[in-house]
Amino acid sequence: MSSVKIFSGSASSYLSEKIAASYGKPLGNITLDKFSDGEISPYFTESIRGSHVFLIQSTFPPADNIMELLLMIDGAKRASAENVTVVVPYFGYARQDRKDKPRVAIGAKMIANILEAAGADRIVTCDLHAGQIQGFFNIPVDHMDASAIFVPYLKESINENTIFASPDVGGTARARRYAKHFQVDMVVCDKHRKKANEIASMQVIGDVDGKDVILFDDLIDTAGTLCKAADILKEKGAKTVRAVITHPVLSGNAYENLANSTLDELITTDTLPLKQKLDKIKVLTVADMFAKAIRKIHDHESISSLFI
């Protein structure tokens, strides 16, 4: 069987080191050079001929992160790697998964196309914004579920006073899965947007009076939706409001919004690096989950045991 070699892009090195340590193997040697004009030039400084190569890099902005990953894939293929599996903890551009208005790009499909064109043999990712994005690829996609991280953490704090919530109608299915697992009730926050990152109105569908509310979503960007949902839930009588979010994008005034909000705690993962520390934010690592997935993929075993 071919040997496993794990490499990291510069944007996800903090997580790749933890994944490699959990797997029990050091990261492979790769040099990520740049020309004076910013042009990226990665090259592998060890032989990967005949190896099963795993490249770890989230595709969040700037676009250099995607370009770096594409060049790493191409370099690995040209260096005669037997297989190239691309581990993308956070799949950027996933929110552009359809034509929701005329004359717009479907960014998620475009990223899928260029990853395949570069030579990726397999994709491993976590909590896509829309599950159907898996169908944009013509290669295998292992779609990891962060519930394997969140459920054990939440188990001790769930009681008869707990109720789950979705910050918008689109996230109802996600919240319902957690509610079904823990056998608790759920409510929905129905929002209306004027434009991206700007909420016009929001209302709560369901009763939260005297309840400990836990909100679920796949990502948090400016934190506007989440903070408004927390405020409204508190106004409706909720005792506490916590949020469980997989990807901490946290752009713009997100940290300020969170600090000034009535949200009691934000539980998230390290698929993306935090730009600031905030007492309200609790970070759980996905390193062990991805390390186990890498081992099972290489050993041609089912990864279904990693799901809850």
First vs last C-alpha separation in the chain: 30
DSSP 238-286: -SEEEEEEEEE---TTHHHHHHHSS--EEEEESSS--SS--TTEEEE--
In whole angstroms, give the CA distance from residue 175 to residue 188.
9
99 is catalytic: no
DSSP 44: E
| Identified catalytic residue from 191, 211, 234, 292 | 191
* 144 sits in which H/E element: strand 141-144
Structure tokens at 114: 């260029």
DSSP 134: G
Structure tokens at 271: 């698929």
DSSP 279-308: TTEEEE--HHHHHHHHHHHHTT---GGG--
Q: In what order do the strands lie in the sheet with 281-284?
A: 198-205, 186-195, 162-166, 212-220, 240-248, 265-269, 281-284
Pairing mode, strands 240-248 and 265-269: parallel
In whole angstroms, give the CA distance from residue 145 to residue 303.
11
Which amino acids are annotated catalytic? 191
